[in-house]
Amino acid sequence: MSQTADLPENSIVLNFGEGEPKHTIIWLHGLGATSNDFPPIVPELGLNQSRPIRFVFPQAPSRPITINGGFVMPGWYDIKGMSLEEKQDREGMSESSAMLEGIINGEIANGTPASNIIVAGFSQGGAVAYYTAVRSKAKLAGVLALSTYLPFEDETEAEHSGVNVQTPILAHHGSYDPVVPMQFGLESVDSLKQLGYQVQWKTYPMEHQVVMEQIKEIGDWINGVFDQ
What's the rounded mean pLDDT across residues 17-31? 95
Average pLDDT, the chain: 93
What's the rounded mean pLDDT across residues 112-138? 97
End-to-end CA distance of the chain: 25
Q: How far apart are CA 37 and CA 122, in angstroms?
A: 10
If one counts the domains in the chain, the total is 1
Is a pLDDT exceeding 60 seen at residue 226?
yes
Is 5 a domain residue? Answer: no
Secondary structure of the chain: what % helix, strand, coil (to 5)? 35, 20, 40
pLDDT band with cut points at 50, 70 and 90 for residue 2: very low
What's the rounded mean pLDDT across residues 172-196? 97
Rounded to the nearest 5°, which phi and psi values hold at 130?
-55, -55
pLDDT band with cut points at 50, 70 and 90 for residue 228: confident
> Is residue 62 annotated as part of the catalytic site, yes or no?
no
- Active-site residue (options: 35, 123, 136, 147): 123
Q: How far apart are CA 150 and CA 127, in angstroms?
A: 6
What's the rounded mean pLDDT across residues 6-35? 95
> Is residue 123 annotated as part of the catalytic site, yes or no?
yes
pLDDT at 68: 87
- Active-site residue (options: 115, 191, 208, 220): 208
Q: In this structure, are residues 92 and 75 in contact, taking their beta carbons and an 8 Å threshold? A: yes
pLDDT band with cut points at 50, 70 and 90 for residue 87: low
- Active-site residue (options: 37, 78, 89, 177): 177
pLDDT at 80: 83
Lowest mean pLDDT across 14-18, 33-37, 84-88, 110-114: 84-88
Is 148 a domain residue? Answer: yes
117-122, strands of its sheet edge to edge: 12-16, 53-57, 23-28, 117-122, 142-146, 168-174, 198-204
What's the rounded mean pLDDT across residues 127-155? 96
Is a pLDDT exceeding 50 seen at residue 1?
no
Is a pLDDT exceeding 50 seen at residue 163?
yes
Which domain does 99 fall in, by range? 12-227
The CATH number of the domain holding residue 56 is 3.40.50.1820
pLDDT at 90: 85
Is 2 a domain residue? Answer: no
> Is residue 208 annotated as part of the catalytic site, yes or no?
yes
Q: How far apart are CA 156 and CA 133, in angstroms?
A: 11
β-pair type (53-57, 23-28): parallel
pLDDT at 18: 86
pLDDT band with cut points at 50, 70 and 90 for residue 81: low
Extract long-range pairs of 191-197: CB within 8 Å, 24+ residues apart.
191/150, 191/153, 191/156, 192/134, 192/150, 192/156, 195/156, 195/157, 195/160, 195/165, 196/165, 197/134, 197/164, 197/165, 197/167, 197/169
Is 32 a domain residue? Answer: yes
Q: How far apart are CA 208 and CA 204, in angstroms?
A: 10
pLDDT at 85: 65
